[in-house]
Structure 1
Amino acid sequence: MYIVSIDVGTTNTKVCLYELPEFRLREIEKFATSQTFENGQTDVDAEQIWSEVLQALKNLSNKVENPQQIKQITVSSFAQTVVLQDSQGKVITPTIAWFDPRTKKEAEEVKDTFGEEKLYHRTGINAHSNQSLTKLLWLKHHKQLAFQRMDKWTCMSGFIASRLTGICATDWSLASRTLLFDINEKVWADDLIETFGLDKETFPELVESGAQIASIKDSISQETGLSKDVSISISGHDHMAGSISTGLQKKTEILNSTGTTEGLLLLGEEPHLSDAFRNFAISNGSYVIDLEYTLYGSMPTAGQSFTWIANALNRSLEDIPGMCQEILEEYENDFAAMMDRMQVFIPHLRGSGPPIRSSTSKVMIYGATDQTTDHDILFSMIAGLCFELKQLKDVYETHAESNIPRMKVIGPAVKNPLWLQLKADILQSDILAYEIEEAVAKGGAMLSASKQGLVDTLPKQETKTYTPNKDREKALEDFYKQFYLPLYHLKNQFEGKG
């Protein structure tokens, strides 16, 4: 028996076939998430993504001896991007990428019209150019004819699910990122919809994460060779779906989901709607498991930083793992010498995340000399990524009154021992690295299969643990307080955000 889990990521889309009950990854179809770039703006090509997903489903169906054994398809994706469709189900372009900053003016409009405090207490998130409402308003202002043709809109995973079922839906976790969802009542916020002149008839149906929406359409069944009884579900926001594969515990564990971006996810029994979290721009959300809530803060750059630095150093991206291994050996054997050469590297390549979120924040490097090597710069950049996470973790522990001794890591970081050891030493936490191939897709599969009764229990995943070294921990804490934080605050003052 099998389940297919689709993960539409910012960089790549993965269509994974898992064999139950062990959730063994049998096959994977992977392709770049189609995007177009023009004049500093990024659009997602939803039709091309669907075309490639459909082809991947055909390929997987052909690779299974008996396609009737594929029982479910579930879809997770990045949040905030909205796909508009007309009455015939055709995509109305543009589909603005979640990170595209063109909607800054609309974010200010939302904040000024509804009120920042009232908005946060209602939706659990701040007005920001990333959020879905700002994209809908930009399209309303700038693409009026296209906007008027809209029959329905939904999030990216909901779009794929709609092509599979004919039903336009989204789950609570993705609705939580729209600025249009009442986080307390778990319904669309009618007053927000009315305030901004939107039509509730165009909104997707709200569904439970991982629960069956419908069976696959007959036309898709015939085209792919899949059974017409295949159940379709939305497993939600990618970071949240991925956490299922780790068995994340409330309050005492935090998930570090790494990819193009990097985020910290903390689970609780209720949303945290205090002014402290609002000021830090920490997002509340509805979790993919019923009656639980999330605190989530993200860094705009993580894995993308390694691509950038490879280009900046005129290196191949394939060189970076070997460099990191060499740095790790020196880090463990001659730490004092490395600290003497360490720079402050504030990695705001695409702006900054909490505690001071800004889409215009810039990179800062201090401390380089004519003796600085490529290894020194790479080491300092990775440490900078960890210092950024440390600030965010400190906010969680202070204002959510949680002691978080363990951090669970999924994504590309688990293949980088230097990055993981630096996380342990800088964040002063045990780091449990989940070496799960396609953790988001696997978590989505586990969620959907368990919710719909395909399995009774979920298998435990193997981990590798990295523990803090007390001597390095103290030296890095001193560096953080004496150099990193003062220059971080100075930079923010210079950029007008202090």
Structure 2
Amino acid sequence: MYAIGIDVGTTNCKVCLYRIADLELIKKYSFITPKKITEYGSDFDINELWQGVVNGLGQVANAVKDPENIVSISVASVGEAGILLDTADNIIGPVMTWYDTRAQPQLERIVSRISESRLYEITGIPAHSNYSLNKILWLMDHAGQQQPAAWLCMAEYIAFRLSGVKRAEYSLASRTLAFDISRNGWSEEICSALDIPLSLFSPLVLAGEPTGELLAELSEKTGIARSAKISISGHDHMVGSVAVGISGEDQILNSTGTTEGLLVVRKQPSASESYYQSRVSNGHHVLPDAWTLYASLPSAGYAIEWFTRLFNLKPADFNCMTNWLMSKGAAESPTDSFLIPHLRGSGPPKRSIHAKGLVYGVEDQTDSEAFLKAVFHGLCYELRQLLETYETLTGSHWKSIMVIGAACQNPYWLQLKSTILNREIVACKLPEAVSRGAALLGARGVGFQTGDITLSEDLLVRYQPHETSGRGFDRVYQQIYKHLYASKIQIENQLNRT
């Protein structure tokens, strides 16, 4: 028997076929997430994306002789982004990327009607223009004659196109700014205050719970049996955590990609004043009766992409550069230069869409190699600040951090993480963790018992901090980075108020 996991990501989309018995990856189909360049930045090209998913399903099904044994298709995706549909299921307006900022005026409207502290008390997440509610209001303001009838997050929309059934999933609902985290349902208070019909939001289902079967025309087109069950597996970072067995508060996950975040699985959410002031997010996990503490830094892999564009580097050239840095011991060589990587705004604990990147330590001899080190140093300092915020809030201390995603392909970055954070870094070489987690949740949803996830040591690479160079990095972090960070945020806040 087989299960398919779909990962709709910011940069790439993947459709992966797994054998359920051992969760072996049989076939992967990937494509660049299609976007349209607009005056605001970029939107997802949802029609082209949908065609890529359908093509991918056909490709992976064709890799096995018995595609009728594909029993489930489950979809994970980025959070916040989604699609507004009218009464005839036509798409209203553009499909904004999660990091789009055009809905800032709508956020101002929201907080004028419900205070930021009350929003956090209800939803467990800080008011920010990225969240779905702002996008919904923007689209409603620009809907023209179309009558808004339904909002679906990205994974929910793909599942709807596969099955014809509209449903919402809890971990994605937690990223909308319209979900009541204490009542465990859509917030009547928020919808009423903003004149949004509660019916705009679909009934909620658990991650992996079947919402329907594959539509007949898609079965014929892809070769997958009509009886294959469709489900929503949820928010990609949470789905990836399932694939590597993160399930308790004694564990912490660093999920990396276009962004990177820190994820802790918890027994209950916390929307106290200290959590609110730190701008960290609570939410539903994709596991039953589990919650998350999660915060994302907007520029991780994106900062690296920006660097390669800046110096016109091909992927092979970039890989050679980082491999050379690692081989010459650059991960053990502190410098006074770094990038504060606020290329798409800042993450917690001082979250702002108005934050800008800042490079410190550039000299007349600075070349592309030195600049790349500054980028990586800054990414690690930013992650350290977030980790320290977590530990202050929770009273926990994590000696080891599991890493999944793009960073696991970069030993230089991983060693820097270990030394600058002063923690063991455990890099998981498991390919396509999000798609695997989606397939696992979908298989469980149709009754297959997959058991607990235990990763063999050959899938893990462990990095230990370098004590001597760690002291040098700590000096830069404490004496320079933190002071410049605080001053920069203060200046940006003042400019934003004028």
Question: TM-score, with normalisation over the residues of structure 1?
Answer: 0.95
- For the residues of structure 1 that align with 2:220 and 2:199, how far apart are their CA atoms? 31
**Structure 2 residue 428 is matched with structure 1 residue 426:** no
Q: CA deviation at 1:403?
A: 1.6
- Classify the secondary structure of the residue corresponding to 1:395: helix
Contact 1:7 1:13 in 2 (8 A): yes
Alpha-carbon distance in 1 for matches of 2:356, 2:83: 30
Find the partner of 1:398 among 370, 389, 392: 392
- Secondary structure, aligned partner of 2:108: helix
CA offset digits 1:427-482 (Å, max 9, x no partner): 11111101121111011112222343223424533211111122222221111001
Contact 1:153–1:168, Cα closer than 8 Å, also in 2: no
What do residues 294-322 of structure 1 show as CA deviations (whole Å, max 9, x unaligned)?
11111111111112112223432321111
Work out the CA distance in 2 between the residues paired with 1:314 and 1:89: 42
Aligned residue number for residue 478 of structure 1: 475
One-letter code of the match for 1:385? L
For residues 170 and 447 of structure 1, the distance between their equivalents in structure 2, rounded to whole angstroms, comes to 15
Aligned position for 1:51: 51
Cα offset, 1:105, TM superposition = 1.1
Q: How does 1:186-225 map to 2 (within 5 A)?
A: 186-225=184-223
Match of 1:277 in 2: 275
Match of 1:268 in 2: 266
Match of 1:346 among 319, 340, 344: 340
Q: Which aligned pairs between 1:298-317 and structure 2 lie closer than 5 A?
A: 298-317=296-315
* Separation (CA, whole Å) in 2 of partners of 1:387 and 1:35: 31
Per-residue CA shift, 1:14-55, capped at 9, x if unaligned? 111111211111111111212111113322122221122112
1:231-281 CA distances to partner (integer Å, 9 max, x unpaired)? 111110000000011111422221111111111111111111111221221
Gaps of at least 5 residues in structure 2 are: none
CA distance in 2, matches of 1:171, 1:480: 40
| Residues 15, 28 of structure 2: 8 Å contact kept | yes
Residues 1:255 and 2:256 are matched in the alignment: no
Q: Does 1:364 align with 2:358?
A: yes
Residue 384 of structure 1 aligns to a residue whose secondary structure is: helix
Check the 8 A contact 1:250/1:267 in 2, yes or no: yes
Q: Paired residue for 1:18? A: 18
Aligned to 2:371: 377
Q: Relative to structure 2, which stretch is displaced further, 32-41 or 22-31?
A: 32-41
The Cα shift of 1:209 comes to: 0.7
What is the deviation of 1:332?
Answer: 6.0
Superimposed CA distance per residue, residues 165-184 of structure 1 (whole angstroms, 9 cap, x where no aligned partner): 11111110000000111111
CA–CA distance in structure 2, aligned partners of residues 16 and 456 of structure 1: 17
Paired letter, 1:21: A
Amino acid at match of 2:474: E
User: Once structures 1 and 2 are overlaid, which stretch shifts more, 434-443 or 222-231?
Assistant: 222-231
Moved segments of 4+, more than 6 Å: none
**Match for residue 493 of structure 1 among 475, 483, 490:** 490
SS at match of 1:91: coil
Partner of 1:447: 441
- C-alpha contact (below 8 Å) 1:21/1:455 kept by paired residues: no
In the aligned structure 2, how far is the partner of 1:271 from the partner of 1:193? 22
Equivalent residue number for residue 83 of structure 2: 83
Matches within 5 A, 1:239-254: 239-254=237-252
Return the offset for 1:423.
0.7
1:497 and 1:22, CA in 2 relative to 1: closer, same or farther beyond 3 A?
farther
Equivalent residues of 2:93, 2:143 under 8 A apart:
no
RMSD between superposed Cα atoms in Å:
1.7
Are 1:406 and 1:432, in contact at CA under 8 Å, matched by a contact in 2?
yes
Q: How far 1:164 sits from its partner (Å)?
A: 1.2
Task: State the AA in 2 paired with 1:268.
Answer: R
1:176 aligned partner, one-letter code: S
CA distance in 2, matches of 1:55, 1:133: 31
C-alpha deviation, 1:343, in angstroms: 0.4
Question: Structure 1 CA distance, aligned partners of 2:313 and 2:95?
Answer: 33
Answering whether residue 463 of structure 2 is matched by residue 466 of structure 1, we say yes
**Residues 84 and 136 in structure 2, CA contact (< 8 A), matched pair in contact too:** no
Contact 1:157 1:170 in 2 (8 A): no
Aligned partner of residue 62 in structure 2, secondary structure? helix
Residue 295 of structure 1 is matched in structure 2 by 293
Q: CA deviation at 1:133?
A: 0.5
- Is the Cα–Cα contact under 8 Å of residues 245 and 453 in structure 2 kept in the other structure? no
CA distance in structure 1 between the partners assigned to 2:162 and 2:312 by the alignment? 44
CA distance 1:217–1:424, change in 2 (3 Å): same
Which amino acid in structure 1 is aligned with residue 454 of structure 2?
A: K
SS at match of 1:144: coil
TM-score, structure 2 as length reference: 0.95
CA 1:25/1:456 → structure 2, altered by over 3 Å: closer, same or farther?
closer
Separation of aligned partners in 2, 1:325 and 1:155? 38
Identical-residue share of aligned pairs (%) = 38
Q: Which amino acid aligns with 1:464?
A: V
Pair 1:412 & 2:410 matched? no
